[in-house]
Amino acid sequence: MRLCVLGLALMLAGPALARPVTMTAEELLRFGEAAMLRGYAAQALSVTDALLARDGGDVQALILRAQALRMLDRLPESEAAARTAWQRAEAPAPRFLAATALAQALSLQGQRLRAQYWLRQAAEAAPSAGAQAQALADLRYVRGETPLRLQVDLSAQPSDNVNGGARVDSVTVAGITLPLPAKLTALSGLSYSLGISGEYRIAAAPGADTALTFGLQRSGAVLSEAAKALGGQAHDLDFLHLGAGVMRKGAWGSLRFDLGRNWYGGQDLSATYGVSGTMVRQVGAARVELSAGLQREARFDLDAASSTQGRLGAAVAMAGPKGDTWRIATTLMTAEAQSDVVQRQEAGISLDWQAAEKVAGFGLGASVGVTGARYASGRRDGRLRASLEAEFPTSFAGFAPVLSLDWSRGNSNVLVYDTESLGLGLTLRSRF
């Protein structure tokens, strides 16, 4: 089918071509794209009028229309055209262009959080590595221009020990066997966790930002029928944390002050307040992190259990010979309290690995760690944990599901603290 248009050639060749010109739809689209490249947005918009009169679902014409309307500062109309193009697009290239146009229209209207979502969609649909790199560069830029940043973490894990309970169901004292309460024994079921955290930048200076921070952490479990039969109560495992603070961060690391409130089992548990800092340095090929923190936890259920905790940490991350990422970290913690069942010293070390190459499309990783604790009461604990994880090849807006197999074993000279758990976990991880 051929289309007849009048006067559009003026923009390219002047009065000599001011006569009817007959073009195919594809030729007319190329003509409109050339007009856009030369800055003739109004003429490009006229081209899309002709193309969409012919076919209202022409994706390429809708994309060109969105671009022209953006250049003409008709942003709500640009957003609408780009959204329609996205809904109709099927191939990667037009989906990439539609998502990019929609992100640009939203960003120019000040809706930068929504623009970040569509830049993620653009990166996901990118038809080439270069196109994806451009989308990610745009995403980083919009993030830098957005005062509000949000992060959502969601996970679910079937496990044979959702409460971290003892491996035994009874203890023997002076020859008398005493059954343990159900909530102290291993209960099977499905544990879940939802975390929402964010920052709102209130001041910016070269090399450093100051932001208000906030967060919510909600976790709990759905108990199996066997666990319920033992007398387990799911509400006993409900945990809620609300936090707020202020943070200063830059290339050197970060310094933050935090306040928090905790509820457990439906009861008001404690209030926390503290200060922490992290310093980051690049030493040759290695990234080195040093951290320190001091926190006070005021318990409402038992004042003697209130504690002051100090923490030191160090971590080194670097690439291996095959490009795999390795990270080793150590932590030291001390808790001072009136109660000798709370006062303790802890130490731990962990090793994380992330494969550089995917296997059958899956991104593979593993982690192992060991911790030890010594309590003023004489209790001695040791814990070993290991996990394997696989990131699925499929993703949505840059978020991919990650399946993990998690195992932990705790040994203690107090039998009730001997624990073991095995579970599968499913979480979402951002690739960008």
Are 415 and 426 in a shared domain?
A: yes
SS (H, E, C) 278-297: EEEEEECCEEEEEEEEEEEE
Backbone angles phi, psi at 343, to 5 degrees: -65, 130
Q: Which of 261, 297, 294 is CA-nearest to residue 275?
A: 294
224 vs 159: CA distance, rounded Å: 10
Q: What's residue 329's pLDDT?
A: 98
Residue 48: domain span = 2-145
User: pTM value?
Assistant: 0.84
Are 116 and 224 in a shared domain?
A: no
219 has pLDDT over 50: yes
Write the burial class of residue 407 (CB in 10 Å: 0-12 exposed, 13-18 middle, 19+ buried). Answer: middle
Are 36 and 59 in a shared domain?
A: yes
Within 8 A by CB and 6+ apart from 198, the residues are: 148, 149, 150, 151, 213, 214, 215
Q: Say which amino acid occupies 1.
A: M
387 vs 402: CA distance, rounded Å: 12
Tokens found for residue 331: 């932590």
Where is mean pLDDT largest: 25-39, 115-129, 197-211? 115-129
End-to-end CA distance of the chain: 44
Are 333 and 380 in a shared domain?
A: yes
Q: Which of 19, 424, 429 is CA-nearest to residue 191?
A: 424
CATH number of the domain residue 70 falls in: 1.25.40.10
Tokens found for residue 70: 């953006």
Q: Using one digit for the tens of pLDDT, what is the confidence trace for 85-126?
A: 999 999 999 999 999 999 999 999 999 999 999 999 999 999
- Out of 92, 121, 145, pick the residue that ends a domain: 145
Least confident piece of the model among 10-24, 39-53, 88-102, 203-217: 10-24
Are 214 and 363 in a shared domain?
A: yes
Q: Where are the alpha helices (DSSP H) in 109-172?
A: 112-125, 129-145
Q: How does the average pLDDT of the chain come out, rounded? A: 90
130 vs 110: CA distance, rounded Å: 27
154 has pLDDT over 80: yes
Neighbouring CB atoms inside 10 A of 148's CB total 12
Are 233 and 256 in a shared domain?
A: yes
Q: What's residue 183's pLDDT?
A: 73
Are 288 and 353 in a shared domain?
A: yes
Are 176 and 230 in a shared domain?
A: yes
9 has pLDDT over 70: no
Q: Using one digit for the tens of pLDDT, what is the confidence trace for 233-253?
A: 888 899 999 999 999 999 899
Are 125 and 157 in a shared domain?
A: no
Are 259 and 308 in a shared domain?
A: yes
Per the structure, the count of domains in the chain is 2
Report the half-sphere exposure of 336 (CA within 13 A, side-chain side): 6
Are 163 and 28 in a shared domain?
A: no
Are 9 and 32 in contact by the 8 Å Cβ rule? The answer is no
Q: What's residue 112's pLDDT?
A: 93
CATH number of the domain residue 337 falls in: 2.40.160.40
Which residues are registered as beta bridge partners of 270?
A: 262, 299
Expressed in percent and rounded to 5, the helix, strand and coil fractions of the chain are 30, 50, 20
- Out of 101, 128, 145, pick the residue that ends a domain: 145
347 vs 329: CA distance, rounded Å: 11
Q: How far is CA 177 from CA 165, 169, 211, 320, 411, in A?
A: 18, 10, 56, 53, 21
Torsion over CA: 284, 329, 367, 236 (sign): negative
Q: Which of 19, 92, 24, 30 is CA-nearest to residue 55?
A: 24
pLDDT (mean) for 172-182: 65
Q: What's residue 78's pLDDT?
A: 97
- Out of 145, 170, 186, pick the residue that ends a domain: 145
Which percentage of the chain shows pLDDT scores above 90? 74
10 has pLDDT over 70: no
86 vs 88: CA distance, rounded Å: 5
Q: What's residue 403's pLDDT?
A: 95
